[in-house]
Amino acid sequence: MTYKVAVIVNPASGRGSGARALPAIRAAYAAVGVSEVRLTSAKGGEEAEARKALDDGFDTIVACGGDGTWGNVANAIIAAGAGREVRLALLATGTGNDFAKTVGSPARDFPATARLSVEGGDVAVDVGRIEGRHFLNVSGFGFDIAVLEDIERISWLRGDMLYLYSAMRQLFRYGGVDIAITTPRKRREPRHHLMLIVANARHFGGSFKIAPGASLTDGKLDAISILDAAPLARMRLFAAATKGTHVMAPEVLIEQSPSFTLEFAAPPSFETDGEYRRASSTRIQIDCVPGALRVVTREIE
């Protein structure tokens, strides 16, 4: 089967990497007979372009950017009720590009992704849902938000090193946050967290295997609670998370569930797929939506 393909490029992704990659992207897709390449012109413009592509009858939408771009396009597809008919393909020009690592997409290989976009396979994956938004990779609270806020103040780094550098700075600055967590099976009273990651996929922050037991097809999300610790213990957890061995530390609690209810003292800031958001309430519901989206890939991790 040959698919009707539209490519959406976020030129600002990866602090300009998307724009620099545009000639290579056009060449890769021209080689497989695809000429429909659309550029976003404003932050969050991927959703509008994806909606237009859906209206125009495209059944494979290629999103070029990073986790935020991929998540925005996924939201447009799912909101249109097309998640089981229209496929999402991934091209990586963003900062972390984490979701591609779990789903097995050759996102940095433009010619390979172009070939898969036209006639390759796909897999139906779960997505997360929080406050009306869907996420592919993770939703994060606490330390994660302090890092994202710090990243906005740094202009001289990009890629995986940007998150690593900001994370190291915040290891000694961030004060933590109290979070209570309830699943359909039990309630955990408020504990002081360094960070809480509710993960659909395994990788996060460019270099961290934050949820090594997560699956994109099990109908569950993984809540990784990293409780607060002294600075040296924070450094140990930080280093262990690059290998996925942090899960053995006493400060780390892991729960798998189809849904979580989180409670905070005040409406928190949080992120979905690296995009900064502010909650509307002190009580937040997060759900897994099984098999909600078809993603073009060679293999799933």
What pLDDT score does 156 carry? 66
Classify residue 280 by burial, with Cβ atoms within 10 Å: 0-12, 13-18, 19+.
Answer: exposed
Distance between CA atoms of residues 26 and 138, nearest Å: 30
The answer to whether residue 67 sits within a structural domain is yes
pLDDT at 301: 61
297 lies in some domain: no
Clarify whether residues 252 and 114 are in a common domain.
no
CA distance 191 to 252: 12
What's the DSSP call for residue 293?
Answer: E
What is the DSSP-derived secondary structure letter of residue 35?
-
CATH number at residue 120: 3.40.50.10330
Compute, in degrees rounded to 10, the torsion defined by CA atoms 286, 289, 293, 299: 90
Structure tokens that stand for 245 in this block:
């061995």
CATH number of the domain within which 140 lies? 2.60.200.40
The predicted structure's pLDDT at residue 148: 80
Same-domain pairing of 155 and 281: yes
Instruction: Report the C-alpha gap between 34 and 31 in whole angstroms.
Output: 7
Q: Tens of pLDDT along the chain (301 residues)?
A: 689 999 999 888 877 888 899 999 999 999 999 999 999 987 778 999 999 999 999 999 999 999 999 999 999 999 999 999 999 999 999 877 999 999 999 999 999 999 999 999 999 999 999 999 999 999 999 998 988 887 777 766 666 677 778 877 888 888 999 999 999 999 999 999 999 999 999 999 888 999 999 999 999 999 999 999 988 899 999 899 999 999 999 999 999 999 999 999 999 999 999 899 999 999 999 999 999 999 999 866 6
pLDDT of res. 153: 76
Residues 6 or more apart from 26 whose CB is under 8 A from it? 37
